[in-house]
Structure 1
Amino acid sequence: MTNPPFDQTRPSLQARPYGTIAVLGAGAWGSALATVARRAGRSVRLWGRDASVIDDINANGRNERFLPGIDLAPGIVGTTDLAAALDGAEAVLIVIPSIAIREMCQMIAPMIGTGVPVAVCAKGIEEGTGYLMGHIAAEELGNHPVGVISGPTFADETALGHFTAATVAFNFRYADRLAPMDSPAARLAVSMSTPSFRTYISDDLVGVEIGGAVKNVIAIACGMMTGAGFAKNTRAALITRGMDEMKRLAEALGGQRETVTGLSGAGDLTLTCSSDSSRNMSLGTQLGAGIPRSECFEGRPVVVEGEMNAISVTDLARRLRVSMPICEAVRHILHDGADLKDTFARMWSSPIESEPRAMGLSLNHPSARLPETPIDEIAT
């Protein structure tokens, strides 16, 4: 007896992959995505600022600075010339820190061909404006389809070919609904699919991006409590309630709660909150153990996206009147000098709420009426 195919429930459509993909950003994730695209059969140009990194990629097929010991896919063409990387590209992936997305989009706007889709592969919310990365790109790039690639994806595991899944999200126009196989989301998903890298398609750009931005802040919270000596119960609670904070913010911006339960929300949150390979989790763990911020990562200037996003996420939530107590706690500890243990103790004794929230209950917590108790004593 032969096994049935996995996809019996709906007919499969054919989508045309993009032939040439420009990947802007030769860090760990940019190099991993370039490897994925090359393994999928695409012609790949990988741009980076650091000539030594690009020389290593071209000469040795490796990026020892950001992905040490890992062979990249043969045939990736590295360059420090942005115009050369974009010349003739049919799709563009921007894989740089979120703080630099606006500047990069301004730089490439006159260089990319008409209608070429751009996928932002950075996660965050712009401080001040409250804009998601896709909104920034759309504002700066004008008449180009703009989307994101997001999901539970560590760069080294992706580059090594471990089974990995990610979501490709673009807003769908009317024409995309009529012919979804010709949409930028479908074509880019096919362009990036390999035997080990599985893509999913979404039309909920907001929901996908909110998951990617908020999960970094929640991961810092999980790390803080882990470093402070708390165990798996605490982490599970923070992950679950953190996902609820994601849902609230996504919904307030027009996103779908269902999206947050997918790869870019629950999936990415679970991965980031479960491993010290995550810089966000690692930072939180060090802070929870009492290491001063200046001494974390052995004093190296490591960029931690969730540290910056703790401000931008909570600023946006306050503007929209969305309650996000875990993210607020992280902000107060990181940026307002609040005591870590006391902050979480107060959060744990906040009013008792209903789950599901539709019940609408809010009860005073008994501990809130008692003199403030150190979190160390609560744990015992």
Structure 2
Amino acid sequence: MIIGILGAGSWGSALANLLAGNGHDVTVWSIDEKEIEMLNTYREQRDRLPGVHLNETITFTTDLEQTIKGKKMIVCAVPSPFIRSTAKKIAPYITNDQLIVNVSKGIEEATLTPIVEIIESEIPGAKVAVLSGPSHAEEVGIGIPTTVVAGARDMDTAKLIQNTFMNDVFRVYTSTDVTGIELGGSVKNVIALAAGITDGLGFGDNTKAALMTRGMAEILRLGTAMGAHVETLAGLSGMGDLIVTCTSKHSRNRNAGYLIGQGKSYKEAMAEVKMVVEGVYSAKATLKLAKKYGVDMPIVEEVNKVLFEGKPAREAVVDLLTRDRKAEISVEE
């Protein structure tokens, strides 16, 4: 298959390598001329994915039209804050027979819209799907076994993505629950910020286990209110992604949270991480969705207060622990 990838960061580069290794013809686009020059010179994403040699067959370019035209599949790997602007740029080149696969995670704050719907709104008639799950680029890039889920509104499209990406170290499941996949992949970043904050405060495994479990409860409450399937949220793109993002050394959200727990502002933390921290951008949107759907999300609420209202992180943890006493599960008699 002939494939174009938008975004030459760590995830775009790792997926380009995977797809080229699967025998596909891959072109990767970036708006950054210096980034493309680096990739063409060294065949390595030295800033974002150091140590991973990129397949010699991959084409790197700043020419957007070249990346889009004639490609059967377009993989969108740009950071979530730039999804809408990128969709506007590619719209003139997209044809109805092309499939756009979103691999970024986030919710647009202004519209409370997940990424697939953003792309659909900017490119009417486009076929858009999603690929998500516990899949750090640093591990995918070196062939560490990974499992994800491909989501599309029809199963045939999901199976096409499955067949395109899957190999002996990258297993792909299929689903038609696009809402659940996108929501799980977005909200878990907010919970991962909280997990990192607890690490930065010096708390232990007990604390993180509690936070992840209650964070999953918040994801389930919001997801089911929005029509997502419980099985999706309990699967790879929900629970699976939550686990890896809250615990991994590769997690930019967990690492940013750690720095915030040590007293840095979210802006200082993002500057030190040197990558887009998706949870910061999704935090306000998630809280707005919670209020829209009447869902209780105390962890998300406290993360917002720490990020944007200057609330001390330790005080936020205490407030979470001293909330009104409740049963873990509500059971009707």
Q: Distance in 1 between matches of 2:275 and 2:90?
A: 26
8 A Cα contact 1:39 1:194, kept in partner = no
**Equivalent in the alignment of 1:76:** 58
Q: 1:351 aligns with which of 311, 324, 327?
A: 324
Q: Distance in 2 between matches of 1:249 and 1:298?
A: 30
Q: Distance in 2 between matches of 1:278 and 1:357?
A: 33
State the one-letter code of the partner of 1:248: R
TM-score, scaled to structure 2: 0.96
The 3-state SS of whatever aligns with 2:12 is: helix
8 A Cα contact 2:94 2:126, kept in partner = no
Does residue 321 of the first structure (1) align with residue 303 of the second (2)?
no
| Offset, 1:55 | 2.6
Q: Distance in 2 between matches of 1:350 and 1:245?
A: 15
Does residue 268 of the first structure (1) align with residue 241 of the second (2)?
yes
Q: Distance in 2 between matches of 1:149 and 1:252?
A: 22
**Equivalent in the alignment of 2:170:** 197
The 3-state SS of whatever aligns with 1:67 is: coil
Q: 2:134 aligns with which of 152, 157, 162?
A: 152
Q: Distance in 2 between matches of 1:186 and 1:299?
A: 39
Q: Distance in 1 between matches of 2:79 and 2:65?
A: 20
Does residue 92 of the first structure (1) align with residue 74 of the second (2)?
yes
1:1-380 matches, cutoff 5 A: 19-172=1-154, 180=155, 183-296=156-269, 299=272, 302-359=275-332
Q: Distance in 2 between matches of 1:143 and 1:292?
A: 42
Q: Distance in 1 between matches of 2:326 and 2:11?
A: 39
The 3-state SS of whatever aligns with 1:184 is: helix
State the one-letter code of the partner of 1:236: A
8 A Cα contact 1:58 1:76, kept in partner = no
| Offset, 1:62 | 1.5
8 A Cα contact 1:310 1:331, kept in partner = yes
Q: Distance in 2 between matches of 1:26 and 1:301?
A: 15
Q: Report the aligned-residue RMSD.
A: 1.6
Deviations 1:277-296 (A, max 9, x none): 21111111112122344543
Change (3 A) 1:301 1:76: closer
Percent identity between matched residues is 37
8 A Cα contact 1:252 1:320, kept in partner = yes
Q: Distance in 2 between matches of 1:62 and 1:162?
A: 18
State the one-letter code of the partner of 1:331: N
| Offset, 1:298 | 6.8
| Pairs aligned (count) | 333
TM-score, scaled to structure 1: 0.84
Deviations 1:240-275 (A, max 9, x none): 111111111111111111101111111111001002
Q: Distance in 2 between matches of 1:298 and 1:213?
A: 21
8 A Cα contact 2:198 2:208, kept in partner = yes
CA radius of gyration, larger in: 1
State the one-letter code of the partner of 2:244: L
Change (3 A) 1:131 1:358: farther
State the one-letter code of the partner of 1:195: D
Deviations 1:222-243 (A, max 9, x none): 1111111110011001111111
The 3-state SS of whatever aligns with 1:352 is: coil
The 3-state SS of whatever aligns with 2:93 is: coil
The 3-state SS of whatever aligns with 2:180 is: helix
State the one-letter code of the partner of 2:45: N
State the one-letter code of the partner of 1:100: F
| Offset, 1:303 | 2.5
Gaps of 5+ in 2: none
State the one-letter code of the partner of 2:50: P
| Offset, 1:301 | 5.7
The 3-state SS of whatever aligns with 1:115 is: coil
| Offset, 1:359 | 4.3
Worse-superposed segment, 40-49 or 110-119? 110-119
8 A Cα contact 2:140 2:146, kept in partner = yes
Q: Distance in 1 between matches of 2:153 and 2:326?
A: 35
Deviations 1:19-49 (A, max 9, x none): 1111100000000111111111111111111
| Offset, 1:297 | 6.1
Worse-superposed segment, 312-321 or 339-348? 339-348
State the one-letter code of the partner of 2:18: V
The 3-state SS of whatever aligns with 1:53 is: helix
Gaps of 5+ in 1: 1-18, 173-179, 361-380
